Structure 1
Amino acid sequence: MDRKGGEDVMFIVFFFIMIIIGGGIVAGVYVFYGDGYDARQSEADILFGKVRDCIADNQDVVFEAEFSLDKCGLDEEVLSEEHLIYIKKGDKEFFVGVFDYSNRCLFQEAGTKSKTFPKCLIREIGDYEVIVASNQRGRKL
């Protein structure tokens, strides 16, 4: 009884399993090396919340020479590269980060669109005008 029936059926199963494995490899490579994640708006929202709390806690010292965002739990070194925190009250200004982002935020508010512009929040907190911007993109490997 040397019957060789069923080999054709096993080829179909083998081919189906190879398609599933190949698809999994392609999906894994795409997820790992694919598009970066854009969390700029979420990051700007979080930064604004921290700045709002900081202004509420330190209203009298925001424009003093010794004032630092380190008191608010924000690291100025990290913020200086791809972020902007701009606080203005009357003729006094305080900012950390890339000052040009304030112009780009105003361009966006006027309707200019660009993928390279930072995501911004422009709000007033009492007498304070606050601009918070983030242009930190997810990295590709």
Structure 2
Amino acid sequence: MNPRRSARLGLVLLALHVFSVASAQDQKLLPRDWAWESVFTVPALKGATRLDGVLADNEWMFATQAGALVDGNTLMQATQRGRFLLGYRGQDFCLGFDFHRPKGSGQPRILVEKAGWSEKPLWVRDENLEVWLA
């Protein structure tokens, strides 16, 4: 190959590289805010529903499971295990969860005798569970 031609080609490639690096200086290397959120599907559940406090395998078969809960104080993975189960049956959205009470949270106050909303707290201290659906 001609030395002048290869020198010109080298200069053109160098100029393109410098231009691409210089033009990308204002771009962030982080994904958009929504890209940090987990993406998952909510499948149809086949088993019959029973609200009995037991996450039976036949009721939650094919459910999406999400785990690795985050400690709100340290923003690190919680030491206590936990999992959420998500699915739907017909028009019903189903959410099941299984986790251990945080250490030092006291004894649960299971004083609610009627199903439905109650203002009575379930925990002696301010430990809580937040679920955000969007």
Give the TM interval when normalised to the shorter protein.
Answer: 0.3 to 0.5
Structure holding more strand per residue:
1
Q: Could you tell me the TM-score, scaled by structure 2's length?
A: 0.33
The higher relative CO (CA closer than 8 Å, separation ≥ 6) is in 1
Structure number having the greater helix percentage: 1
